[in-house]
Chains A and B, each alone.
Chain A
Amino acid sequence: MKRQIPVILVGMFGLFMIFQYFVPHESSEWVYEFLLDWTIIIGIFAMALGLWSLYRVSVEKIKTRKPAWGYNYLTLCGLFTMMFFGFTTQNGEAWGWFFPFLVSANLVLVLMIQASVNKGGRGLFLGLAGVFLVACVVIIVFDNTWGFHFETAQGLQSTMFRAFFDHILIPIFATMFSLLAFFIASAAYRAFRARNVMATLLLLAALIVMLRFHPFYGPLTPYIAPFMSKTSNWLMNVPNLAAQRAIIIGVGLGIVATALKVILGIERGYMGKG
């Protein structure tokens, strides 16, 4: 039963999803839309698993003093703080005791982890955590300038949530992305060497496409530049199209075969045992 039911479920829903494609009738669409919604909702529940894993791995690293373990506090505090921003809202203009609360709540978190990690001094850490916890509770009870808002769907309008998004997430995200400009250069330097026919073709095609900029040719521009830009367009239109097609047809077959193997229960390595 432990192994059969999952395989049956996979086969049942997989086959349904295949056949609904051929049935345009409303009733099949209806089930289809339901199933899609379901997968999304289950996915959200899985988030909890993800967060738990992130927390556990971070604490584990602190515990075992892995390389760069200290930074895991930062991960956990960042996680906690951002979640806090996502679930709180300001009631008025003033900040009140919002930030002191945030700091003490983060301290509680850090001290609790310390207590669970360190063998000695557990009492001290727990005691301190308790003090800050009391401070947090006091602030929650007496401070009315902000509140936990489980009462509106406006959670993402929170000012601090946006500020963190704009000034932490976006800069790092965009900079990580822009590192590609550097890596594309170092990769080209390292790999584009005429070692054999294949590498030479790779190199030549890349060079032709990169040479479609004019200023390279000086007085020869009118003779060479149009040719280069036309060749690079042709490369993108013709051989590229052919290669893409060959790959897509192959990938299509691979996908169909893999999906069939999964649905028919031939490949069940992913479903576990025991």
Chain B
Amino acid sequence: MGKVNLTLLLAAVAIVIIIAIALIFPLERLGQLYSLLLIFGGLVALLLRSIFAKEVDRRIIFLFIFVAVAAPLLFPITFSEKPTAVVKAVFDRVESLPPGSTVLLSFDFDPAMAPEVQPMANAISRHCLKKGHKVIFMSLWATGQALLTQSLTNTILPEFPEKQDGIDYVNIGYKAGNEGVLNVIVSNFEKMFPTDVNSVPLGEIEIFDDIRSCRDLDFIVSFGGGLPGSKEWVLFVGDPGGVDVAAGVAAVVAPQLYPYYPAQLVGILGGVKGAAEYEFSLKETYPDLKDMDTPGLKMMGPQTLAHIVIISFIVIGNIIYFRGRRKEKGQ
């Protein structure tokens, strides 16, 4: 057996031990400690080794990536996700509105985008209800309605059993027409949404007693970033209606929205990272939400560790390169 194989064998044994720990003892702390030690210890060892300009076998890199992704899934390792200004702005806006304000949350995404966007949509919905705002849920995407219903019935509403449909929140569902819908609801909701999803006429819903159009809303958050998405909400509702709009979008779309911040967008949540930062602030502000589901924060554990691993290997690669060059020169 070669040297590489031996290392790999040892590493594999280490991984099996991790899984065994997870299986046998429900000791999260130990598992976390063990796996972090494994990753960082290994990286330091490789760093030292790189000074002798010894290349690392690609399979060892693979192993590090695997452990960096798997360990935080087994033993949820969360890092402090101090919110950046763009996320903080959204959180502060929801936080600073007086209880009883009306907030509209639009779920403009499809199942493909859902893994990235749904966590933040859930977090903001939770925050709004927690704060006592009245929430109007809607969707500009046909596929968004199902995801909206799923979020409401599976995640959000069970946490707030005291909230009543029509008084504390309402789901007006999806209407076809993309920007056309926005064009209409900026001046009149009822025109586009005669009823909510349960076919209750809007006139009979308490929330809509003093809400005629988007102009009467206190805050709008659009989740998605496709077309139509946050940009359309800004251009067709936020700007003409004078309402504050924030965006929660997939990571790839976020850079395209930055030119609108802070003039036209209150803030932007980009990808899982945005969701994680929001969840972090939420947990910090409301200690009683300690046990809430935080898919964003959970996803960030593997992401952060894997990024650390990749960056470390880039550094190691460069050390090897420069040491190797010096060696060559020396000869």
Binding site for B on A (CB under 8 A): 181-182, 184-186, 188-190, 192-195, 203, 206-207, 210-211, 213-216, 221-222, 225-226, 229, 232-233, 236-237
Contact = CB atoms under 8 A, between A and B. Distances in A.
Nearest to A240: B255
Instruction: List 5 tightest A-B contacts by C-beta distance, closest first.
Output: A236-B255, A215-B79, A189-B313, A193-B321, A186-B58
Interface stretch (B81-89, B220-228, B236-244): B81-89
Contacts of A221: 82
Q: On chain B, which size bracket covers the interface?
A: 35 or more
B96 interface: no
Nearest to B58: A186
Contacts of B30: none
B142 interface: no
A12 B270 CA distance: 49
Contacts of A215: 79-81, 304
A186 B59 CA distance: 9
A226 B84 contact: yes
B306 A181 contact: yes
A185 B310 contact: yes
Interface in B53-71: 56, 58, 61-62, 64-66, 69
A225 B321 contact: no
A195 B307 CA distance: 22
Contact of B317 (A184, A189, A213, A222): A189
A210 to B, nearest CB: 5
Nearest to B268: A233
A182 B314 contact: no
Nearest to B258: A233
A226 B88 CA distance: 12
A224 to B, nearest CB: 12
B311 A184 contact: no
A237 B316 contact: no
A184 B259 contact: no
Interface string B289-325: 0000000000010011011111101101110011000
B309 A185 contact: yes
A211 B311 CA distance: 8
B58 to A, nearest CB: 4
B127 interface: no
A222 B85 CA distance: 10
Contact of A194 (B254, B300, B316, B321): B321
Contacts, number: 82
A255 to B, nearest CB: 25
A213 B321 contact: no
A193 B318 contact: yes
A226 B258 CA distance: 13
A237 B259 contact: yes
Contacts of A213: 273, 300, 303-304, 307
A210 B79 contact: no
Given A182-B61, A185-B61, A210 B310 contact: yes
B80 to A, nearest CB: 7
B331 interface: no
A194 B317 CA distance: 9
Contacts of B307: 210, 213
B80 A185 contact: no
Nearest to A238: B255
B61 A189 contact: yes
Given A182-B62, A193-B321, A215-B304, A207 B311 contact: yes
A237 B321 CA distance: 32
Contact of A188 (B79, B81, B258, B313): B313
Contacts of B322: 194
Nearest to B317: A189
* Residue from A193, A216, A232 whose CB has the most chain B CB atoms within 10 Å: A193
A233 B321 CA distance: 30
B314 A207 contact: yes
Contacts of B273: 213
B260 to A, nearest CB: 12
A181 B69 contact: yes
Contacts of A210: 307, 310-311
Interface in B83-128: 84-85
A232 B252 CA distance: 12
Contacts of A203: 314, 318
A215 B56 CA distance: 26
A226 B310 contact: no
5 contacts: A185-B306, A189-B316, A194-B321, A210-B311, A215-B79
Given A186-B62, A188-B314, A194-B318, A214 B85 contact: no
Given A193-B317, A213-B303, A233-B258, A185 B82 contact: no
A225 B310 contact: no
A189 B311 CA distance: 8
Contact of B65 (A181, A190, A195, A236): A181
Contacts of B304: 213, 215
B224 to A, nearest CB: 19
Interface in B228-264: 254-256, 258-259
